[in-house]
Amino acid sequence: MLPVLLRDGLPFLPKILFFGLLVGAASSSEGLALQDLVLSALGVNAATAQLALLKLPEQTTVWGVIALTVGLNAKLLVFTASIWPHISGGSRPKMYLAGALTTDSSWACCQLAAQRGALDCAYALGISLLFSAVWLAGCIGGYFFSAGLHEESFRRFGLDALVPLSIALFIAMGMRGNLGKMHPVALGACAGLTCWGLFANQTLALVLGAAVAFLTTYLFDR
């Protein structure tokens, strides 16, 4: 299993490591304690939310943090829901652990594996553990060795393109041979993008797009 995970995960690892280094460096410069960074890397395991946590105003309440977290991470609900049909055959502890560690990258990697029929609970758990370990290593590395790390260098090497490109690949694979059944997807995408254009809220647009595609299929498809 490990060689397969390494082979499939390899394209994602540089991005995860580099982004982890950035988050670690930012945490160090904001004066976060190392144990808090480790807890944040394992417990939150999402770069945008971790960075947002560093910049929180002092007077923010717990309810404010919860609202911020929901706003930033609601897409994870759709991510874990979409891999459920593939991982539900595994034992409950493994399934929930795989779900608890799901990130953008592990979800994209799992979706590509699903296209090949290779996604199951063991795969999802393995790839989530691998990516989380690399994420943690990146965060800790960035905490101690942060000199010269900038988001611009991350962008220059095209590492930020990895998740969008894997998603483009997945969309193309998912639609191949199924174009006639894609009207719920098109409707969901139109609803999501319209919402984004009107309210400029990415999370709301993503969740709405998924919800419309789900409901259209569930209620109207025969």
Partner 1 sequence: MIHLLAMAACTLGIRLAGLLIAGHLSKAAKARQALGNASLGLMVVYLAMQIHGAHDLMMAATVTVAMALLAGGIQLPLLAGIIVVAALRNLP
Residues 122-161, interacting with partner 1 (CB under 8 A): 155-161
CB of 205 to partner 1, least distance (A): 6
Q: Which two tokens stand for residue 169?
A: 């690949």
CB closer to partner 1, 45 vs 138? 45
| Number of residues near partner 1 (by CB under 8 A) | 87
State yes or no: residue 179 binds partner 1 (CB under 8 A): no
Rg from Cα positions in the chain: 18
Please identify, among the stretches 18-26, 131-139, 141-149, 163-171, the one whose residues bind partner 1 according to the rule CB under 8 A: 163-171
- Distance in angstroms (rounded) separating the CA atoms of residues 202 and 207: 9
Write the CB contacts of 161 (distance below 8 Å, at least 6 apart in sequence): none
CB of 198 to partner 1, least distance (A): 13
Site for partner 1 in 35-74 (CB under 8 A): 36, 39-40, 43-46, 49, 53, 56, 60, 62, 65-66, 68-70, 73-74
Using the Cα atoms of residue 9, residue 14, residue 15 and residue 18 in order, give the sign of their dihedral: positive
- Distance in angstroms (rounded) separating the CA atoms of residues 67 and 46: 16
Using the Cα atoms of residue 51, residue 56, residue 62 and residue 65 in order, give the sign of their dihedral: negative
- Sketch the per residue contact string, 105 through 124, with partner 1: x for CB under 8 A, - otherwise: ------xx------------
- Distance in angstroms (rounded) separating the CA atoms of residues 156 and 151: 9
DSSP conformational letter for 173: H
Stated length of the chain: 222
Among 172, 179, 198, 199, binds partner 1 (CB under 8 A): 172
CB of 42 to partner 1, least distance (A): 8
State yes or no: residue 89 binds partner 1 (CB under 8 A): no
Q: Which two tokens stand for residue 85?
A: 């049909």
CB of 142 to partner 1, least distance (A): 17
Among 95, 121, 127, 139, binds partner 1 (CB under 8 A): 95
Among 76, 130, 139, 140, binds partner 1 (CB under 8 A): 76
Q: What angle do CA 113, 125, 38 make, to 5 degrees?
A: 125
State yes or no: residue 200 binds partner 1 (CB under 8 A): no
